[in-house]
């Protein structure tokens, strides 16, 4: 059974940093690209970032480029999102999600999602 | 960036009725790279359809997708009580994924 479990969320002040983790199980982690998608309170879904299976290729939304860094440790089956220079508008539930294809290449169809973790940026 | 516009914003229907949800793209979505997700309150999104018309694993056949280019449709043939939720379309034809604003299907 595929499981994705996010952690590391919480309250942070504007300008601060936070690192999210997503522990994966139930599939061959290194064979799949992974994404982060966020959802501000009461709003729709916004894709944030993606990473290929090997970790060498990364992709970012313009809204987070230069501030967020996606990475993965395939030996630990864990996905990360380092978030720096946080803004109030980054407040959201952050989901990690698995790509549907096992090629390791980023495809963009997200077939399994974690339960989400709340990040609140406020003074 | 491809902007996806979903309509209507809210659809009020009764169980057993047919639901038709629209997703329009600001430019053509290559190779029908369009997916649909369902989200219930307090839950993560669930993949329903990808490739515009292919159902994901375990999705009932009352859910169907169609369309190409800039116009796509999700149809729920007969609404079950568990189908009342918010539905999002998403394009993956570019490396920057984008989602529509969502359509809420509520009980009339």
pLDDT, tens digit only, all 123 positions of chain A: 999 999 999 999 999 999 999 999 999 999 999 999 999 999 999 999 999 999 999 999 999 999 999 999 999 999 999 999 999 999 999 999 999 999 889 999 999 999 999 999 999
Pairwise CB contact (< 8 Å): B47 & A116? no
CB A93 within 8 A of CB A39: yes
Band of residue B69 on the pLDDT scale cut at 50, 70, 90: very high
Q: Choose among A104, A114, A42: nearest CA to A81.
A: A114
Pairwise CB contact (< 8 Å): A46 & B88? no
Pairwise CB contact (< 8 Å): B56 & A111? yes
Q: What angle do CA B37, A62, B98 make, to 5 degrees?
A: 20
Sign of CA dihedral A48, A96, A7, B46: positive
Least Cα separation, residue B26 to chain A (angstroms)? 17
Contacting residues of B for A113, CB less than 8 Å apart: 44-46
HSE-up of residue A33 (Cα within 13 Å, Cβ side): 22
Cα gap A96→A98, rounded to integer Å: 7
Q: Which chain A residue lies closest to B90 (C-alpha atoms)?
A: A109
How many C-beta atoms lie closer than 10 Å to residue B5's C-beta?
13
Least Cα separation, residue B80 to chain A (angstroms)? 22
Pairwise CB contact (< 8 Å): A45 & B90? yes
> How far is C-alpha A5 from the chain's CA centre?
11
**What is the Cα gyration radius of chain A?**
13
Q: Choose among B41, B63, B91: nearest CA to A110.
A: B91
Sign of CA dihedral B75, B81, B84, B88: negative
Please say if the pLDDT value at position B58 is more than 90.
Answer: yes
Please say if the pLDDT value at position B30 is more than 90.
Answer: no
Please say if the pLDDT value at position B18 is more than 90.
Answer: yes
Q: Is B30 helix (H, G, I), strand (E, B) or coil?
A: helix
- Predicted confidence at residue B31, as pLDDT, reads 81
Least Cα separation, residue A8 to chain B (angstroms)? 18
Pinpoint the alpha helices (H) of chain B. Answer: none
Contacting residues of A for B99, CB less than 8 Å apart: 44-47
- Nearest by CB to A47, from B33, B57, B97: name it: B97
Contacting residues of A for B98, CB less than 8 Å apart: 47
- Nearest by CB to A106, from B37, B90, B95: name it: B95
Cα gap B100→B34, rounded to integer Å: 11
Sign of CA dihedral A102, A104, A109, A110: positive
How many C-beta atoms lie closer than 10 Å to residue A102's C-beta?
15
Cα gap A86→A81, rounded to integer Å: 12
How many C-beta atoms lie closer than 10 Å to residue B14's C-beta?
8
Tell whether A27 lies on the interface with B, counting CB pairs under 8 A. Answer: no
């Amino acid at each position: 059974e595929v499981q994705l479990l996010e952690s590391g969320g919480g309250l942070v002040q504007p300008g601060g940093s936070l690192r999210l983790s997503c522990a994966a199980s139930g599939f061959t982690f290194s064979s799949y690209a992974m994404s982060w998608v966020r959802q501000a309170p009461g709003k729709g879904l916004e894709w944030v970032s993606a990473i290929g299976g090997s970790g060498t290729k990364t992709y970012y939304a313009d809204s987070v480029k230069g501030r967020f860094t996606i990475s993965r440790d395939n030996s630990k089956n864990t996905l990360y999102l380092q978030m720096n220079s946080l803004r109030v508008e980054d407040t959201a539930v952050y989901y990690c999600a698995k790509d549907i294809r096992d090629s390791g290449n980023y495809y963009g169809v997200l077939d399994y999602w974690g339960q989400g973790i709340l990040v609140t940026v406020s003074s | 960036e491809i902007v996806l516009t979903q309509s209507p914003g809210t659809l009020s229907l009764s169980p057993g009725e047919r639901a038709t949800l629209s997703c329009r793209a600001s430019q053509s979505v290559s190779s029908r790279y369009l997916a649909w997700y369902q989200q219930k309150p307090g839950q993560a999104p669930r993949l329903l359809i990808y490739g515009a018309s292919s159902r994901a694993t375990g999705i009932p056949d009352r859910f169907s997708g169609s369309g190409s280019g800039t116009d796509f449709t999700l149809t729920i043939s007969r609404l079950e009580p568990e189908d009342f939720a918010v539905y999002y379309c998403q394009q993956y034809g570019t490396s920057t994924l984008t989602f529509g604003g969502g359509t809420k299907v509520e009980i009339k």
